[in-house]
Amino acid sequence: MNQTSESNLRQTIVEIGQRMYQRGYVAANDGNISVRIDDDRFLTTPTGVSKGFMSPENMVVVNSENKVFSEGKPSTELPMHLFIYKERPDVMAVVHAHPPYATGFATAGLSLDKCVLAEVIVTIGTVPLAEYGTPATEELPNTLKPYIHSCDAFLMANHGVVTVGSSLMDAYFKMERVEHYANILYIAKALGGERVLSKKEVEKLYDMREAQGIKSLNPGCYACQDECIEESCVNCEVKYDTDGPDYFNEIVEKVLAAVRKL
Ligand SMILES: [Zn+2]
């Protein structure tokens, strides 16, 4: 498919909307999808229309100032999309939905930022939990600020999920992956709790990620990177030999790094 053709982009948004609706990632008129057409024009889903029942002509054309160049009203969450495009010139598409498992984690105050599943580490990296912000206000983009340059998928507290990508399908597949990951993690927790991969194993996955040409934004364990000075990090299973000189030096280095950040 030629992603650059506007009619193809309109059609792809329709198909992604149908998939999101059929999979229960959105209910009623929830969710929104957008794509970059060129340097300053974007195509976005209209407000007040179910993502499962859209047609290509429903899409709204806007610029980076949220000025509308077509019929229809854009999604009320468009400022969040435009914020992402402004901060991340590499991003070509943004998808927002409320898939139940991932949104369940976001509602329980749990991020998806532990190194648990190999495919997720290689393809998405960590999925942080952004603070709650009132939908359709400036608060929402602000909550993404701490993570926008280091992640491609975000949980929004008490709300849902946002994913970004190099194309519409890339952003959509990240949404699928996040929800699938949350579903698996939910089952693992019911079975006694997930086991995290060791740092050594995670490093091998980082190498794989780079070999595949996937940009390493923040593939690691967001929960404990850099700051972790615990003897045994439950997130990464870092085991130190507490009698050896390496343990002491490593702790000193981590404390100094933490102090420098203050
Ligand atoms: Zn929403």
Q: Would you give per-residue pLDDT tens digits along the chain (262 residues)?
A: 444 599 999 999 999 999 999 999 999 999 999 999 999 999 999 999 999 999 999 999 999 999 999 999 999 999 999 999 999 999 999 999 999 999 999 999 999 988 889 899 888 888 999 999 998 888 888 999 999 988 999 999 999 999 999 999 999 999 999 999 999 999 999 999 988 888 788 888 888 888 888 765 555 554 444 444 333 344 444 444 445 555 556 666 766 776 666 6
Angstrom distance (rounded) from CA 222 to CA 153: 13
Distance in Å, CA 186 to ligand 1 centroid: 22
Asked if residue 112 lies in contact with residue 96, where contact means CB atoms within 8 angstroms, the answer is no
- Side by side, the strands of the sheet bearing 32-38 are 60-63, 41-44, 32-38, 93-97, 160-165, 153-156, 129-130
Which of 79, 96, 86 minimizes the C-alpha distance to 137?
79
Looking from the CA of 252 toward its CB, the CA atoms found within 13 Å total 5
Distance in Å, CA 27 to ligand 1 centroid: 10
Q: β-strand 32-38 against 93-97: which pairing, if any?
A: antiparallel
Distance in Å, CA 199 to ligand 1 centroid: 34
Distance in Å, CA 48 to ligand 1 centroid: 12
Asked if residue 118 lies in contact with residue 205, where contact means CB atoms within 8 angstroms, the answer is yes
Asked if residue 114 lies in contact with residue 194, where contact means CB atoms within 8 angstroms, the answer is yes
Angstrom distance (rounded) from CA 208 to CA 252: 31
Which of 9, 165, 176 minimizes the C-alpha distance to 93?
165
Distance in Å, CA 213 to ligand 1 centroid: 31
Cα distances from 4 to residues 14, 91, 96, 147, 232, in angstroms, run 16, 14, 21, 28, 49
Distance in Å, CA 96 to ligand 1 centroid: 6
Cα distances from 55 to residues 10, 42, 227, 228, in angstroms, run 8, 17, 48, 49
DSSP SS3 for 112: strand
Distance in Å, CA 104 to ligand 1 centroid: 13
- pTM here? 0.82
Sign of dihedral through CA atoms 91, 173, 130, 96?
positive
Distance in Å, CA 141 to ligand 1 centroid: 12
The residues annotated as belonging to the active site are 77
